[in-house]
């Protein structure tokens, strides 16, 4: 039996905690083992104290912290509750426990230093802050879950579902994880890319925001990355560096994301053909647009047309 401790920090996402308990309970209910696979306890951290004791946990799970902005998250990480939880996570790991966290809680793991030199992910819109605070972590924002055991991290709030399926696969079996997904009607998702709003990320740097505006205004043209950099008075190298810091993408990925976002909007809101839309967003060959949409979303253009 796997002993799991779920850490609830005051003000955290109730949905994340609920998903955690529901998936673990489902695994216990539908599993074929004679006794439950998971024994679950809860540790609650508030302003003044901690409820519950950590005794021999095999896995400690921290659902999302629930911070609504980067400033709010930085303030929360400095609270007594988070500082105590941080120290507990470091001690638990040293004692042999594995760790899992989603959304802003990946910051809590990073605060321990345990993610240094490791691959990790977090909620896409907090990626610039994460890179600034933890430069030693290899952040892969596009990934929904990175199960780099003995530590696993997941993306934005509802990625807790994906994280829990990774937990069930690791501590139960892949078949049990598939059974839980079927029972709870959960889709397997590998990437945050379809959900990332490039305009939100770009808005955090004035030059990158200007570049985004220029690309959207010239989207049907055949232009180079140097053209974009020149438009905002940056060298190509400086532009690439600022894009990586702000959006976590290369210049080519930046332009592709804007073109794909625009194409999806046109698929959902117009009756233009894929061929026409490809030209509208700067691709001479419709096959290029189809390939990029499928790569980033795992759906064909027809899927977004029917969803519109």
For residue range 231-262, list pLDDT tens digits in order: 999 999 999 999 988 888 899 999 999 999 89
Mean pLDDT of 149-161: 92
Residue 247, pLDDT score? 86
Residue 133, pLDDT score? 96
Residue 192: pLDDT band (50, 70, 90) is confident
Using the predicted structure, report yes or no on whether residue 228 has a pLDDT greater than 90: yes
Neighbour-count burial of 180, counting CB atoms closer than 10 A to its CB (0-12 exposed, 13-18 middle, 19+ buried): buried
Asked which of 73-82, 139-148, 255-264, 296-305 is least confident by mean pLDDT, the reply is 296-305
Q: Which fold has domain 197-307?
A: Arc Repressor Mutant, subunit A (1.10.10)
Alpha carbons 125 and 155: distance in angstroms, whole number: 10
Cβ–Cβ < 8 Å for 13, 157: yes
The helix (H) or strand (E) run that includes residue 156 is none
Residue 269, pLDDT score? 87
Residue 166: pLDDT band (50, 70, 90) is very high
Residues 6+ apart with CB under 8 A from 39: 1, 2, 3, 4
Residue 119: pLDDT band (50, 70, 90) is very high
**Closest Cα partner for 20 from 196, 190, 142, 152?**
152
Residue 220, pLDDT score? 95
Are 2-193 and 197-307 the same fold in CATH? no
Residue 189, pLDDT score? 74
Residue 306, pLDDT score? 63
Q: Which fold has domain 2-193?
A: Rossmann fold (3.40.50)
Beta strand pairing call for 38-45 and 50-51: antiparallel
Cβ–Cβ < 8 Å for 104, 66: yes
Mean pLDDT of 17-43: 92
> What are the b/e assignments for 58-86, b being 16+ CB within 10 Å?
bbbbbbbbbbeebeebeebbebebbebbb
Residues in the chain: 308
Annotate 53-75 with DSSP letters as a single string: ---S-SEEEE-----SSHHHHHH
Segments making up each domain of the chain, as ranges: 2-193, 197-307
Using the predicted structure, report yes or no on whether residue 96 has a pLDDT greater than 60: yes
Residue 194, pLDDT score? 67
Relative orientation angle of helices 251-269 and 286-297, to the nearest 10 degrees: 100
Query: For residue 150, is the peptide bond before it cis, meaning its omega torsion is within 30 degrees of 0?
Result: yes
Cβ–Cβ < 8 Å for 47, 37: no
Mean pLDDT of 206-217: 94
Average pLDDT over the chain, rounded to whole?
A: 91
């Amino acid at each position: 039996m796997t002993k799991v401790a779920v850490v609830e920090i005051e003000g955290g996402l109730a949905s994340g905690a609920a998903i955690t308990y529901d998936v673990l309970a489902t695994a216990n209910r539908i599993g074929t083992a004679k006794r439950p696979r998971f024994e679950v306890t809860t540790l609650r951290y508030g302003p003044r104290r901690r409820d519950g004791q950590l005794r021999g946990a095999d896995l400690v799970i921290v659902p999302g912290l629930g911070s609504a902005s980067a400033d709010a998250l930085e303030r929360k990480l400095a609270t007594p509750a988070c500082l105590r939880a941080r120290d507990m996570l470091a001690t638990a790991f040293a004692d042999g426990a594995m760790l899992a966290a989603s959304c802003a809680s990946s910051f809590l793991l990073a605060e321990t230093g345990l993610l240094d030199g490791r691959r990790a992910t977090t909620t896409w819109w907090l990626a610039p802050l994460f890179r600034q605070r933890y430069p030693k972590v290899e952040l892969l924002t596009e990934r929904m879950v990175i199960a780099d055991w003995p530590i696993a991290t997941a993306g934005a709030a509802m990625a807790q579902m994906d994280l829990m399926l990774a937990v069930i696969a690791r501590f139960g079996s892949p078949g049990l994880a598939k059974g839980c997904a079927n029972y709870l009607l959960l889709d397997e998702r590998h990437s945050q890319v379809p959900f990332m709003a490039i305009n939100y990320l770009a808005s955090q740097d004035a030059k990158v925001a200007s570049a985004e505006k220029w690309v959207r205004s010239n989207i049907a043209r055949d232009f180079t990355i140097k053209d974009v950099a020149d438009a905002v008075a940056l060298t190509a190298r400086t532009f690439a560096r600022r894009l990586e810091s702000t959006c976590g993408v290369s210049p080519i990925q930046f332009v592709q994301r804007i073109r794909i976002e625009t194409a999806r909007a046109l698929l959902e809101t117009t009756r233009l053909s894929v061929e026409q839309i490809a030209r509208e967003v700067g691709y001479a060959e419709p096959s290029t647009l189809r390939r990029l949409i499928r790569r980033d979303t795992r759906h064909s253009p027809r899927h977004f047309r029917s969803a519109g």
